[in-house]
Amino acid sequence: MTSTLLAQYGKHVILFESAQFPRYHIGESLLSGTADLLKMIGVLDKLEDAGFVKKHGVEWVWGERREPWTVYFKDALAMPYDYGYQVERGPFDQMLLENAREHGVDAREGHRVTDFAIGDDGTVRVDYTDAAGNLGSVTARWLVDASGQGGLVTKRLHQREWDPYLKNMALWTYWRGAERPAGLDAGNTFLPTFDEGWWWFIPLRDDLTSIGVVVDRESYLRHKASGLDRYYQNCLERTPELVERLKDAEQADTIHAQRDWSYIYDRFSGDGYLAVGDAACFIDPLFSTGVHLSMLSGYLAATAVNTILDKPAISRDTVLDFYESTYRQEFERLRAQVYFLYGGHGSHGGHGGSKESYFWHARSQFDVPGIAPEKAFVSLIAGAFQHRSWYRRFLAQLDVPAELRGTIEGIFEGKSAGVNVDWRQPVIPAEAIELGEELAVDGRYLRSSQVLRHPSGTSMPLTPALSAIRDLADGSRSAEELVRLLVEKELEPADRARALVHEAITFGLFEPRESAEA
């Protein structure tokens, strides 16, 4: 992701891959929010043509009752795609690698980085061994550590903080002939629990299904001596919903095991380098966020590095702080929800949770004050980031040439989702909103913009249209009248004006006059 975007931005990029592709990797379920990232680098159509399984939602057997419940990505906040993909990572990752080459990246397989050095002037040297055992080195203006849980740069320069509550182990294998739901639900991820942990059920192509169990480390160690195959089967027998789906299936692979210990580094970046994906942080696999967080951080990293290299007027520290705080916030929001779901589950502290409580907790993690609880939960697990102040709203509303918007991100459609708005109700500015400055993505660079900010942290760019709403919303005009005036003043077309007013109220920047008086 990072190398492809930087190459698109005109940079000369070398990508070192220690493995020869295709190579096996776990982490096969992609969030619907990842589709927009894949579109940016031109591989979404290739993914579609490859026939990977689509998932439209997630089915849960989780909480105080055993009745299954399903959530669908179509119900997420401001999502351009209502589905994600279930992929075999070997061919999927090779598709990304070949796509990087097509964009001009010098991608070298079988090249293992052995050392690096960062000079006082920020110049980077990277030493490597190639597939034939030859030694070599390159110099560059910037280094991106995408070395996964190995953390080549971060492990040497920073402190890794292990999560004391998320020390889990994963055991998985593949099955052929597992029963799948009919119709639209056939590709959905299935997440049932049992008394010691939870399972993933990920439908793949060619009637193959990835089925893995996640348990805490203590449970794993207690049963390790009896053998992984026996323990996997024992866990399976205690999950009747999964037994039912596997009654006519056969195991198609050996048992794999991996430590899934969550962690985060105290810093992700410094002079001359930054870390993306698991090289910066790793979260429990419950929400299948690994690929999504990696690609999202890769996108942010490419924009940050491009800004640092081409826009020296913007402080390097300011750009790196934006990168770190943005990536860290996404990570911490998801981790908090993982904590909460585990808190209502037997192996992590009881059976007290319900799907409604999960929805409401997600709402507390989501930075949209008026969002409905279930929409917050779905948005969280879908990887919805379009509402974030640094992403599409800035891109759509800042003074960016239309052709650049279309090329880099796709054209904003003026859609908005959240709380219902009473369009006849008079509107006033919320009492606690304030002016501020924030960095935001402006095409291929970051740039600073004035924003209106809510105490919850949500913000919107202070464009001429939003400034006009602030001046016009004096308590005598309804939301509908505000839309009409924006159109009359030729500040926005009708659909964009309506979306803007809706969004401003949803985000709590403006409120009905009666609510304020109450």
Last residue of one domain, picked from the residues 300, 326, 352: 326
Residues 186 and 310 in one domain: yes
Enclosing H/E stretch for 282: strand 281-282
Residue 171 domain-assigned (yes or no): yes
Residue of 283, 388, 400 whose CA lies nearest to 336 = 283
Q: What is the pLDDT of residue 420?
A: 58
Residues 175 and 322 in one domain: yes
pLDDT in tens, 220-250: 888 888 899 999 999 999 999 999 999 999 9
Residue 66 domain-assigned (yes or no): yes
Residue 122 domain-assigned (yes or no): no
Residue 500 is part of a domain; what is its CATH number?
3.30.390
When pLDDT is averaged across residues 206-212 and rounded to a whole number, the result is 97
Residue 382 domain-assigned (yes or no): no
Residue 200 is part of a domain; what is its CATH number?
3.50.50.60
Question: How many beta carbons lie within 10 A of that of residue 255, not counting itself?
Answer: 17
The pTM is what? 0.84
Q: 381 or 195: which carries more pLDDT confidence?
A: 195
Q: What is the pLDDT of residue 367?
A: 61
Lowest mean pLDDT across 139-153, 416-430, 445-459, 479-493: 416-430
Q: 27 or 338: which carries more pLDDT confidence?
A: 27
Residue 296 domain-assigned (yes or no): yes
Residue 217's domain comprises: 53-83+143-326
Last residue of one domain, picked from the residues 270, 291, 326: 326
Residue 124 domain-assigned (yes or no): no
Residues 311 and 440 in one domain: no
Domain count for the chain, please give it: 2
Residues 405 and 284 in one domain: no
pLDDT in tens, 28-82: 999 888 888 999 999 999 999 999 999 999 999 987 778 898 989 888 766 678 8
SS (H, E, C) 399-443: CCCHHHHHHHCCCCCCCCCCCCCCCCCEEEECCCCEEEEEEEEEC
Q: What is the pLDDT of residue 506?
A: 76
Residues 316 and 397 in one domain: no
Residue 2 domain-assigned (yes or no): no
Pairing of strands 510-512, 427-429: antiparallel
Residue 100 domain-assigned (yes or no): no
Q: Helices 228-237 and 217-224 meet at what angle, rounded to 10?
A: 120
pLDDT in tens, 247-298: 999 999 999 999 888 999 999 999 999 999 999 999 988 888 899 999 999 9
Residue with tokens 């939870």: 198
